[in-house]
Amino acid sequence: MQVHTVPCFGALPGHGNVALVIEEGPATPEERQAFARAQPHPACVFLDPGLQRYWFADYYYPHARSPLCLHATLGAAQVLFARAGQAAQDIVLATAMRGQPLRLCRQGDDFFVALQPQSVPELAVDGALAAWLLDQPDLALAAAPVLASVGSPKLLLEVPERACLHALRPPLDRIADWGRAHGVSGCYVVCRIGEDAYEGRNFNHLDPAMEDRATGVAAGALTAHLGRAITLHQGGALGAPCLIRTRVEDGAILVGGRAEAVPAN
C-alpha cells in the first residue's frame, strides 16, 4: 500500500487541508472505512486504476463514505501529475459511488478539477431551518438559504459578518442527522468579504476538531449557485489558511488551488 500525504488548497506553502491518497490499499468499503477512521486527517481517497489513463476515486471521511471530496481529488491530481511529468495532458477520474466524471488539469503551480453542476434534493429550506441547524434562534441571514451541488449537495448559508461566522458552534450531530435523512452533506456557512470573495466554514464532520480547513465541494456549489468565479478563504482561524479559486467555463465549474505532497520519511 502506498499512502501519500498531500496538503491541499494552502494559501501559503506548507499549509492546507490534508488528504491521504492511497494506492494499492484495502479493497472493501468496510476496510477502507476502518483505515480512514484510524487516521488523524479529515479525508482519504483510494485510487483504483481503470482503462486508458482512467482512474476511480473512492472517498472516505472518518465517519462516512462520501460521493465526492474535492480537496482529496486535488491531492489525487498532485500524485498523478507528479508521476506523469510536466508534459502530461488532462487526467480523468470517475467517482466510485456515482460514476461522476472529473477532469483534472494543471495550470502553473495549481491544480484544478472540472465538473458539472448536479441536481439537489427537492427540499424546502428557509431561515428557520438554518437557525435550528446552527442552534442560533436569532440568526439573521444575509441571503436566503439554498441547496447546490457539484456532486455532494451542500446547504449554503450566508451570514452578514465574520464575527457571526467565527462564533458558530453548532450541534454537529443535529446537522449530520438532518443531512443523512435528506441526502445533504452538511452546512456550509459563508460571509462575503469582497466583490467576488468569501470566507467560509464547513459543518459536516461529527468531531469539532475535524472541521474542514478547505471544502472544495462547497466552493463548487457556491460557484454553481452564483454563476461566476469566486475566491474562497477558509481555515485561517484553525491554523491552516486555505484559498480556493473557481472559474466557470462552458458550463463547467473548475475548482482549484495549491497541492503539495509531504515527502516520505
* Helix, strand, or coil (residue 208): helix
HEC secondary structure over 234-260: ECHHHCCCEEEEEEEECCEEEEEEEEC
| Cα 7 to Cα 4, 139, 188, distances in angstroms | 10, 34, 21
pLDDT in tens, 220-229: 999 999 999 9
Q: Smallest Cα–Cα separation from 64: which of 207, 205, 259? A: 205
Residue 111 · residue 80 · CB < 8 Å: no
State the pLDDT at residue 53: 64
What band does 84 get if pLDDT is binned at 50, 70 and 90? Answer: confident
Q: Burial level of 229, CB count in 10 A (0-12/13-18/19+)?
A: middle
Q: What pTM does this model have? A: 0.89
Give the integer Cα–Cα distance in Å for 240 and 16.
Answer: 6
What band does 52 get if pLDDT is binned at 50, 70 and 90? Answer: low
Give the integer Cα–Cα distance in Å for 153 and 184.
Answer: 5
pLDDT at 170 over 90: yes
Distance from CA of residue 59 to its chain's centroid?
Answer: 11
State the pLDDT at residue 185: 92
pLDDT in tens, 148-164: 999 999 999 999 999 99
* Helix, strand, or coil (residue 31): helix
Give the integer Cα–Cα distance in Å for 107 and 263.
Answer: 22
